[in-house]
Amino acid sequence: MKMKNILTLLALLGQINLNAQNDSQGECLYKDGLGYLHGITKFYNPILAKSLLHRASDLGYAPAMNELGKIHSNGGSFRRNLDSAIFWYKKAIEAGDGEACFNLGKIYQAGSVLSQNFKEAFKYYSKGLEMNNAECKKAAAYMYYKGLGTVQNYSKAFTLFRETAEAGNKTSMYFLGLCYRNGYGTSV
């Protein structure tokens, strides 16, 4: 009985170690990929960059998935492919990347490449709120302030604008000022 418990414990420890190695390896591949993509620390090579980001994504590294979403969304060195961008953003979100929530929410909010859909935008900003992403907080605050994709709620908007303003976001400071001036979610 004890031997079985010991073997189970060793197997779990081995899995934890493997996951840590994958994260570390994924992060290295991601950083190298960014270096090649932007030509900052490496020679500019977008094909190699994309390959490295795919390898990092295969290891489950969420920021690499988000970066692949940006590559497909923005185009640049590659042809824009919105279906691929959405795929990679959703995969990054599943892996816990709050920035991907913001990036996908922006696509739905802007409506420049897809039909504008405030409810979908708010859904992804809300997911990013759960992950404590500052950009999603600011975006959700704006959606609450305007009543876009959700019921207008000045109190929630005020709270979120205050949190992001205290963190130094100038846009949130502006809207917080409007809330105080007009008595939206707080007293005048």
User: Other CB atoms closer than 10 Å to residue 155's CB: what's the count?
Assistant: 12
pTM of the model: 0.83
Instruction: Please state which of the ranges 33-37, 41-45, 103-107 shows the lowest mean pLDDT.
Output: 41-45
Work out the pLDDT band at 77, boundaries 50, 70, 90. Answer: confident
Give me the pLDDT at residue 19, please.
42
Q: How far apart are CA 101 and CA 11, in angstroms?
A: 34
pLDDT for 113: 73
What is the pLDDT of the chain when averaged over all its residues? 89
According to the model, what pLDDT value does residue 96 have?
A: 97
pLDDT tens digits for range 118-169: 999 999 999 999 999 999 999 999 999 999 999 999 999 999 999 999 999 9
Give the helix ranges, DSSP H, for 39-151.
46-58, 62-74, 82-94, 98-110, 118-130, 134-146
- For residue 14, name the pLDDT band (cuts at 50, 70, 90): very low
Residues whose CB falls within 8 Å of the CB of residue 39, separated by 6 or more in sequence, listed in order: none
Question: What does the pLDDT read at residue 78?
Answer: 87
- At 23 the pLDDT is 62
Determine the pLDDT at residue 109.
95
Res. 22 pLDDT band, cuts 50 70 90: low
pLDDT of residue 24: 87
**What pLDDT shows up at residue 118?**
97
- Whether residue 168 contacts residue 138, with contact meaning beta carbons closer than 8 Å, is answered with no
Query: CA angle 106-112-117, nearest 5°?
Result: 60
